[in-house]
């Protein structure tokens, strides 16, 4: 139907948009390049500003049943010395929780909700977007079969939303001269390990800094083996001039990064043993792209990673896509002209997401680790208060929350 909103991409942003449009009474269809839904990726965090949107869609119980409700964020040095902790989610006074969750579990909750609410006939798998055109009345999407490459029938709608991720076809069409992603100088290795609960059993832990290494650890599934052990997500970040292509599912090699962690034996975690017990290792470069001057042209716009790819720091990638979906569906609900609504959405969301991209480059929450390492001379300290005051740490984190919109 030509009055439908056409969503290119059935990831977190695209599925959330479908749900928010349905909630607003606006018809839509989702076109996903993958021929089938598979369990991909590892863990992500959903901050309260994002879970509030999903909660209003009635999804909090389903998410809580498959996620860890995060209790705290904790920071340590690479020597295992405690730096700082703060409560998370409702424990910090937010109206909504913070969830640590396997990406596949989040995707399944969203996908099942979309199918149940708008119908499986409105979710098209194996449709790879080849480009978009538009006239005065419609956006016209061109597709090919993702398996065979054969052309599929063009699809017309009131608007086309590019939720097609970091390799977005629609972004490339809108910005053909943009250039390659910008490498941060940091490569990441990611994985999951079945392990006994550490600290509170619901802690998001950051330790060390990029030289020689930083690690982020948090549980994403509870009691996975009947013995009380959890599935624990981890990310190791190391400064290196070498990096790989952007493929979330590229396999990583233990020997490429385990060396700098060899003596990380903490009271609360034996890091080398923990990493060596991983059930999978993935590798991905920490890259982003400069904020775009525009997302929207007429009846076409971008959302999520297609609009604002950012460093995975501060747990804001998926969250900002969810906020995009909420803002876009609201603009479409309020206005009768999709072109005006898309322009309103861009005015609302482009500036704050550009600020998050820049903040993730300079002072994300883990900048506390950088400051402590520099000030301590990368040596054990007698007291953290002699290195960095709690008020300085709180100020840094408060500034980040203000920029990202994750405020109480």
pLDDT of residue 1: 47
pLDDT of residue 248: 66
Asked whether residue 240 is assigned to any structural domain, the reply reads no
pLDDT tens string, the chain, 408 residues long: the values are 468 999 999 999 999 999 999 999 999 999 999 999 877 788 999 999 999 999 999 999 999 999 999 999 999 999 999 999 999 999 999 999 999 999 999 999 999 999 999 999 999 999 999 999 999 999 999 999 999 999 999 999 999 999 999 999 999 999 999 988 889 999 999 999 999 999 999 999 999 999 999 999 999 999 999 999 999 999 999 999 877 666 767 899 999 999 999 999 999 999 999 999 999 899 999 999 999 999 999 999 999 999 999 998 888 899 999 999 999 999 999 988 999 999 999 999 999 999 999 999 999 989 999 999 999 999 999 999 999 999 999 999 999 899 888 887
Asked whether residue 48 is assigned to any structural domain, the reply reads no
Residue 155: give its domain's CATH number: 3.50.50.60
User: What does the alpha-carbon distance between residue 305 and residue 192 come to, in Å, rounded to a whole number?
Assistant: 23
Q: Which secondary structure element, helix H or strand E, spans residue 139, and what is its range?
A: strand 139-145
> Contact, 301 vs 162, CB < 8 A?
yes
Asked whether residue 407 is assigned to any structural domain, the reply reads no
Q: Which secondary structure element, helix H or strand E, spans residue 128, and what is its range?
A: strand 127-134
Asked whether residue 32 is assigned to any structural domain, the reply reads yes
Q: Could you tell me the pTM of the whole model?
A: 0.96
- HEC profile of 181-225: CEEEEEEEEEEEEEECCCCCCCEEEEEEECCCEEEEEEEEECCCC
Q: Which secondary structure element, helix H or strand E, spans residue 15, and what is its range?
A: helix 12-23
Written as six digits, the tokens of 266 are 């903490």
Q: How far is CA 178 from the centre of its chain?
A: 22
- According to DSSP, the β-strands at 159-162 and 5-8 are parallel
* Interior angle at CA 302, CA 191 and CA 53, nearest 5: 65
User: What is the count of structural domains for the chain?
Assistant: 1
Q: In the β-sheet with 127-134, what is the strand arrangement from edge to edge?
A: 127-134, 139-145, 151-157
Asked whether residue 316 is assigned to any structural domain, the reply reads yes
Q: Helix, strand, or coil here: 61?
A: helix
* Interior angle at CA 285, CA 284 and CA 286, nearest 5: 120
Residue numbers of the domain that contains 154:
5-42+104-180+292-362
Asked whether residue 50 is assigned to any structural domain, the reply reads no
Asked whether residue 329 is assigned to any structural domain, the reply reads yes
Asked whether residue 152 is assigned to any structural domain, the reply reads yes
pLDDT of residue 379: 96
Q: Give the tens place of pLDDT for each residue, 198-254.
A: 999 999 999 999 999 999 999 999 999 999 999 999 999 999 987 766 676 789 999
């Amino acid at each position: 139907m030509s009055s439908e909103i056409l969503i290119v991409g059935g990831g977190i942003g695209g599925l959330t948009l479908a749900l928010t449009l349905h909630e607003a009474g606006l018809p839509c269809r989702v076109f996903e390049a993958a021929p089938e839904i598979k369990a991909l990726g590892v863990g992500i965090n959903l901050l309260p500003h994002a879970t509030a949107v999903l909660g209003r869609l009635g999804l909090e119980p389903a998410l809580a049943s498959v996620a860890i409700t995060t209790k705290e964020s904790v920071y340590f040095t690479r020597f295992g010395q405690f730096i700082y902790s703060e409560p998370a989610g409702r424990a910090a006074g937010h109206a909504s929780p913070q969830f640590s969750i396997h990406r596949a579990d989040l995707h399944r909750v969203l996908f099942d909700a979309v199918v149940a609410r708008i119908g499986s006939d409105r979710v098209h798998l194996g449709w790879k977007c080849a480009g978009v055109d538009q006239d005065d009345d419609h956006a016209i999407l061109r597709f090919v079969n993702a398996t065979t490459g054969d052309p599929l029938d063009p699809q017309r709608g009131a608007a086309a939303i590019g939720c097609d991720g970091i390799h977005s076809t629609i972004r490339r069409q809108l910005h053909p001269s943009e250039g390659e992603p910008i490498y941060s100088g940091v490569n990441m290795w990611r994985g999951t390990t079945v392990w006994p609960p550490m600290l509170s059993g619901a802690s998001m832990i950051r330790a060390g800094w990029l030289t020689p290494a930083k690690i982020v650890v948090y549980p994403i599934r509870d009691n996975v083996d009947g013995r009380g052990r959890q599935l624990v997500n981890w990310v190791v970040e190391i400064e290196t001039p070498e990096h790989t292509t952007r493929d979330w599912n590229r396999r990583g090699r233990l020997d490429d990064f385990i060396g700098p962690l060899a003596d990380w034996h903490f009271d609360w975690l034996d890091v080398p043993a923990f990493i060596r017990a991983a059930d999978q290792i993935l590798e991905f470069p920490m890259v982003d792209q400069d904020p775009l001057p525009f997302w929207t042209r007429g009846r076409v716009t971008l959302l999520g990673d297609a609009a604002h790819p950012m460093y995975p720091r501060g747990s804001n990638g998926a969250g900002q896509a969810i906020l995009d979906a909420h803002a876009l569906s609201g603009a479409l609900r309020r206005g009768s002209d999709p072109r005006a609504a898309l322009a309103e959405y861009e005015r609302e969301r482009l500036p704050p997401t550009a600020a998050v991209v820049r903040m993730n480059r300079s002072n994300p929450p883990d900048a506390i680790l950088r400051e402590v390492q520099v000030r301590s001379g990368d040596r054990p300290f007698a007291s953290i208060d002699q290195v960095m005051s709690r008020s300085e740490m709180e100020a840094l984190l408060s500034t980040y929350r203000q920029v990202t919109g994750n405020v109480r």
